[in-house]
Amino acid sequence: MTESSGQDADLLIEGGIVVSMDAERHIYNPGYVAIKEGRIVGTGCAAVCPYSARQRLDASDMVVLPGIVNAHDHLDQSVYRSCLDEQSTSPSLLLRMARGLTRERAHAAAALSLLEQVHYGITTTQESHWTHYHLDSTDGICEAIQQSGMRAVVARCMKDKEEYTPADFCERIEDVLDDLDRLEREYDSDCICITPEAGTILQCTPEAIIAIREWALRRGKIWHIHLAQNREELTEALRTVGMGSVQYAESLNVLGPQMLAVHCSGILDEEVELLGNHQVRIAHCPTTVMRAGGQVPPIWELEKLGATVAIGTDGSATTNGQNSWEAMKMAVYMQRVRFVGRFLGTAEQALEMATIKAARALNMDDRVGSLEPGKEADVAMFRRDQLHLVMDARLINNLIYSGVPNLADTVLVGGKVVLSGGRSMVFDEEEVRAWAREAQTGMIKEAGLEREIGLAFSWPVITA
C-alpha cells in the first residue's frame, strides 16, 4: 500500500480491482484511489484505506485503471474515416478534402475523435496535425481539446519539399516557427503541450528538420517525426539518399531520446540497433501497419536495445477508429506472426505500452500513466459485467485480447469526471455527431468527390 501522511481527500474511489501500473505493477483487489486537489494522494487495499472524503465513487464490480495514453493520432481525421479505404489514390483524396478543413470543421472533427477516445478510457493523446491549408485549423483542434477536458501533446507538423507534397501544403520554416511561437503562447497549459513535428525525412529539408528539433530542445520539449513509416518510404529513401530513413536521421545528428519517432516500420535490420542505442521514443501504430500490409517492426528487440515503444491508434483515416484496445491486441499478435512465436509477448506488456510507457514516450510519465501518489488523477473505470470481463481469471488478458469492445463507464481527468455512466459530461454527444457529419459532407461536396465517396465503395446505392 502507498499513501500520503494526510487522511483527508476530496474524492475516494472505492472497491473494484485497481490496476496501478506503478513500478511493481501492484493490483489491489478490492482497492481504493484517494484524490485531493486533482492529484492522487493514496492507493491500496480498500480494507485498510485510511482516507475519508467528501465525495465517494463506488467502483464495485469495476476494474480501475490509469487513463489510457494514446501515443499517436490525427484528431482531425474523423472526417476522413473510411473515405480512403481500398483507394490506391488515397493521399490525393485526403488532400483534396483537407483543403476544406476550416477551423470550425477541425474543431468538429477533433471533438468526435476525442469523444470516441474517452469512451475507450483514453485521457491523454498525442495529436499530429499536418494539413495547414487553413492555418487556423490547428486552433480548432486545440479548442476541441480544451473543451474535452482531456490532455494532449499537440505536434504542429510541417512539410517543405514539393517533390513529395503539393505546393499548397508546403510551408516555409520561418512561417512554421512563428506559428509554433503563437500556438505555444495561446494554448500551452497544464493540459496542452505544443511541440513541433517534421513530416518525414523525405518531405522535409535537412534545414527544416534541424530547425524543428532545435525549437523543441530550447524549450525542454521532445520533437516528433514520422520516421521510416512504411516500406514505400524505405524504398524511396534508399533511392534518393542511399540509406534508410533512420540512418539518414543519424547522419543529420538528430536521433536521440528527445525524438518521438512515429511508426518505424520501414527499417533496415541494422537500423534497429541505431534506434535502441539512441534511446529513441517510438509510437507504434499496429492497426495502421496491418491496414497497409506493412512491415512489422521488432518492438521487443527495440525495447531490449534501449528504445521506448508505446502504442498509438493513429488517425481514423488509416485505422477507422480511436480504439487503443484494438491496437494493444494487434501489437502482440503481429509480433507472433512476424517472429513465429505462439507465446511471444504478453497482454501485460501491451497494457504497459498504452499507459506508463506511452506516458514516457510523450515525456509525461511524471504526471500520468499510472495510479500513484503525486500523479494527476486520470482514471478510467470499466464495468466488469461487460461479457468479455465476466470471468475473473487473467483479467488483464481479457481486457487486452477480448477488449476490442472495452467501453469505459467513468473517466476522470485531474480528478474531474468527464465521462459518467458511459456518457460525456463535457460534450453534447448528439451535437458533436451532427457537427462532424456536417463537416464531412461539406468537405466531400467542396472537393467534388460525391461520386467517388458514397455510402459504399463499389455497390450501387438506390436513393429513390
- Each residue's pLDDT tens digit, 260-279: 999 999 999 999 999 999 99
Q: 39 — phi, psi (to 5°)?
A: -125, 155
pLDDT bin (cut points 50, 70, 90) of residue 91 is low
CATH 3.20.20.140 domain residues, the chain: 68-361
Cα–Cα distance between 303 and 78 in angstroms, integer? 31
Query: Contact at 8 Å (CB) between 202 and 164?
Result: yes
Residues 6+ apart with CB under 8 A from 88: none
Domain with CATH 2.30.40.10 in the chain: 2-66+374-424
CA–CA distance, 172 with 94 (Å, rounded to integer): 22
The secondary structure of 146-181, three-state, reads: HHHCCEEEEEEEECCCCCCCCHHHCCCHHHHHHHHH
The predicted model gives 85-111 an average pLDDT of: 88
CA-nearest of 81, 126, 131 to 102 is: 131
What phi and psi, each to the nearest 5 degrees, are found at residue 154?
-95, 110
Residue 4 has pLDDT above 50, yes or no: no
3-class DSSP state for residue 286?
helix
* Mean pLDDT score across all residues of the chain: 95
At 297, give phi and psi (nearest 5°): -75, 145
Residue 244 has pLDDT above 70, yes or no: yes
pLDDT value of residue 90: 57
Provide the pLDDT for residue 153.
98
Q: Which CATH class is domain 2-66+374-424?
A: mainly beta
Over residues 317-343, mean pLDDT: 95
Whether residue 180 is predicted with pLDDT greater than 50 in this model: the reply is: yes
Instruction: Calculate mean pLDDT across residues 53-68.
Output: 97
Given pLDDT bands bounded at 50, 70 and 90, which one contains residue 3?
Answer: very low
Q: Average the pLDDT over 193-221 and give the result.
A: 98
Closest CA to 277 of 252, 298, 250, 238: 250
Runs of H (alpha helix) within 252-315? 269-277, 286-291, 299-305
Mean pLDDT for 55-59 is 97
Span 105-110, average pLDDT: 98
Distance CA 182, CA 359 (A): 26
426 pLDDT higher than 60: yes
CA distance 228 to 246: 7
Cβ count near 423 (within 10 Å): 10
Q: How many CB atoms are located within 10 Å of the residue 224 CB?
A: 30
**CA 381 – CA 64 distance, rounded (Å):** 5
User: Residue 152 pairs with which residues in a beta bridge?
Assistant: 125, 192
387, HSE (Cβ side, Cα atoms, 13 Å): 2
For residues 303-330, average pLDDT: 97
> Taking residues 187-210, what's their average pLDDT?
98
Contact (Cβ atoms closer than 8 angstroms) between residue 19 and residue 65 = yes
Q: What is the pLDDT of residue 2?
A: 47
Q: 138-142, 228-232, 277-281 — which is least confidently predicted? A: 228-232
Query: Side by side, which strands form the sheet with 423-424?
Result: 27-28, 17-19, 62-66, 379-383, 410-413, 416-420, 423-424
Nearest CA-CA partner of 267 in 226, 326, 227: 227
* Average pLDDT of the residues in 210-223: 98
With a cut of 70, say whether residue 240 has pLDDT above it: yes
* Beta-bridge partners for 309: 282
Is the predicted pLDDT of residue 294 greater than 90, yes or no? no
Cell of 400: 487486452
Q: What is the DSSP letter of 461?
A: -
Phi-psi region of 264 (alpha: psi -120 to 50; beta: other; left: phi over 0): left
Are 118 and 152 in contact by the 8 Å Cβ rule? The answer is no
Instruction: Show the cell assigned to 413.
Output: 481527468
Predicted confidence band of residue 405 (pLDDT cuts 50, 70, 90)? confident
Provide, rounded to the nearest whole percent, the portion of the chain with pLDDT above 90.
Answer: 91
pTM for the full model?
A: 0.96
The contacts of residue 279 (CB under 8 Å, 6+ apart) are 256, 257, 306, 307, 308
Q: Which three cell numbers stand for residue 212?
A: 524543428
- The CATH code for residues 68-361 is 3.20.20.140
pLDDT level of residue 88 (50, 70, 90 thresholds) = low
